[in-house]
Amino acid sequence: MGDLTNNPTAAQAFTRFGLGGRPDDVVPADPVAWLTAQITCADEAPVAGMPTLQHNLTVLYEGAMAPPGSAAQAAYGEELENLFNIDLQSALDYAVTTTIPFRERLVWFWSNHFAIMANLGSVQACAGPYMRCVIRPNMTATIADMLKAAIIHPAMFVGLDAHTSVGPQSEEAIAAAKSGTYLSFNENLGRETMELYTLGVTGGYTQADVDALSYLITGINMNNIQGRKLGFFWDPNKAQPGSVTLLGRTYECTQTGLMAALHMLGTHSSTYRHLATKLVTHFVSDTPEESDIQTVYEALAASGGSLPAAHLAIVGLQNAWTPLQKLRTPQDWMVAMFRAGNMSAHKLADIGTSLNGILTVFSQPLWQPQFPNGYSDLAADWTGPQTMLLRADCANWFSPLITNVTPRQAMHASVVPFLSTSTVALLDAIDSPTEELALLFCSSEFQRR
């Protein structure tokens, strides 16, 4: 059984870098080596039998073609919702039970960086496949590799309306103009790519650069013709012709030109700086030290944007090993409670609710931020009085569901090395196991990582 009582280094590895300890965890003899191995290990999340993009898009389009308000349309909508829930349940259950939790935290970090808004119907159909085809396989690749895969995935470009963006001088726009319809580009995906996913808001780009990237993106389209591969395809008829200048470099408005531009953005020094700051903020502190940011920046710059190099640099930061500096977001906290209770996410399904349903109450359902910048990583955004009271209510409701783990086992598998003497005294004074678990989960030490 996992016991972190006399091993604060291992406890920090599980809480700060992982998703929280479980009583059935094997405590690593060398926590740093344990973390390092997860940076490049194979992904173990379920793949076989999971909904595919082609299947989900077929259901989506058949529902769209069904008579409005018909029983068939309702049935397709219900099937699509079920497919989405299969992916959500699988992702949450894996997070709760995985034995490589550092890798999974990294997956969650990058999926929140390249955030999609799966509360939109058509994006919902693509969400699970996006995680399996864009985020997970690129965890051992580069920023540029993940960026290029993300931009041309329907979950990303449909959510930001890139498939409706048309080059003003394209064949499609010219033909439409003859019938009195004016078509043009939108800058949604172009701006977010530069502001959020690569350079950052202070990355040195101009409105002209946003326009240039947006012109390059106009060839992206969504195929919905049955009998062909559904999803992304390059549409030269709507692509802006000619070339553009982006950050002083010239690119042809072709798929090859777009990929070259994305590679440039993914390997830009401003991108390295922006992402180093986000990584250090997530793993170290809401107010990261410049020296830590510089360390991760240098790892990215020296490796051509290698994600494993950045992740290894994070593990090597001394400040990352100072406990309890980061507040657990609702997602973090809920997963950590499930892990400490030695449970699976399916447990709640057995009693008629879901972990994601609870996360929705906390305004942090999986893959469903309201805006493309993803969920906040800062404590100030998750510590309102009402939110903290809600955590207490949730802990009191959740604790009676834990039936095969004692409070001491949950404590010793999670944050026991970090508990203050006053918290320990409070826990010792409680006779009810259920109440003791609830207090453990509500303690300031368990609320943090």
pLDDT for the residue 352: 63
Same-domain check for residues 49 and 120: yes
Q: Which amino acid is at 247?
A: L
- Tell me which H or E stretch contains 297: helix 290-303
Show which of 248, 266, 284 is a domain's final residue.
Answer: 266
Same-domain check for residues 431 and 336: yes
Cβ contact 10:4 at 8 Å:
yes
Same-domain check for residues 120 and 198: no
Show which of 219, 241, 266 is a domain's final residue.
Answer: 266
> In terms of C-beta density within 10 A (0-12 exposed, 13-18 middle, 19 or more buried), how is residue 28 classed?
middle
Report the relative pairing of strands 249-252 and 231-234 from DSSP bridges: unpaired
Domain count, the chain: 3
- 383 C-beta neighbours (distance < 10 Å), count: 12
Same-domain check for residues 68 and 167: no
Same-domain check for residues 334 and 416: yes
pLDDT for the residue 351: 66
Report the relative pairing of strands 220-223 and 231-234 from DSSP bridges: antiparallel
What burial letters (b/e) apply to 114-146, b meaning 16+ CB within 10 Å? bbbbbebebbbbbbbbbbbbbbbebbbebbbbb
Q: Which amino acid is at 158?
A: V
Same-domain check for residues 124 and 213: no
Show which of 216, 239, 266 is a domain's final residue.
Answer: 266
- What is the tens place of the pLDDT at every residue in 228-252? 789 999 999 999 999 999 999 999 9
pTM, two decimals, is 0.96
Residue 198: DSSP 8-state: S
Q: Is residue 320 part of a domain?
A: no
Identify the bridge partners of residue 251 per DSSP, sorted by sequence position.
244
pLDDT for the residue 1: 59
Same-domain check for residues 250 and 335: no
Q: Is residue 293 part of a domain?
A: no
Same-domain check for residues 129 and 205: no
Same-domain check for residues 237 and 338: no
Q: Is residue 276 part of a domain?
A: no
What burial letters (b/e) apply to 272-298, b meaning 16+ CB within 10 Å? bbbbbbbbbbbbbbeebeeebbebbbe
Q: What is the pLDDT along the chain (449 residues), one digit of tens a residue?
A: 578 888 999 999 999 999 999 999 999 999 999 999 999 999 999 999 999 999 999 999 999 999 999 999 999 999 999 999 999 999 999 999 999 999 999 999 999 999 999 988 789 999 999 999 999 999 999 999 999 999 999 999 999 999 999 999 999 999 999 999 999 999 999 999 999 999 999 999 999 999 999 999 999 999 987 777 899 999 999 999 999 999 999 999 999 999 999 999 999 999 999 999 999 999 999 999 999 999 999 999 999 999 999 999 999 999 999 999 999 999 999 999 999 999 887 776 776 678 888 999 999 999 999 999 999 999 999 998 999 999 999 999 999 999 889 999 999 999 999 999 999 999 999 999 999 999 999 999 999 99
Q: Is residue 372 part of a domain?
A: yes
Q: Print the domain residue range for 49.
A: 44-138
Q: Is residue 21 part of a domain?
A: no
Same-domain check for residues 233 and 184: yes
- What is the tens place of the pLDDT at every residue in 170-229? 999 999 999 999 999 999 999 999 999 999 999 999 999 999 999 999 999 999 877 778
- 68 C-beta neighbours (distance < 10 Å), count: 6
Same-domain check for residues 50 and 134: yes
Tokens of 247: 């950050």
| DSSP symbols for 83-108 | HHHHHHHHHHHHHHH-S-HHHHHHHH
Tokens of 384: 């309102």
Same-domain check for residues 329 and 438: yes
Q: Is residue 285 part of a domain?
A: no
Q: Is residue 302 part of a domain?
A: no
Q: Is residue 22 part of a domain?
A: no
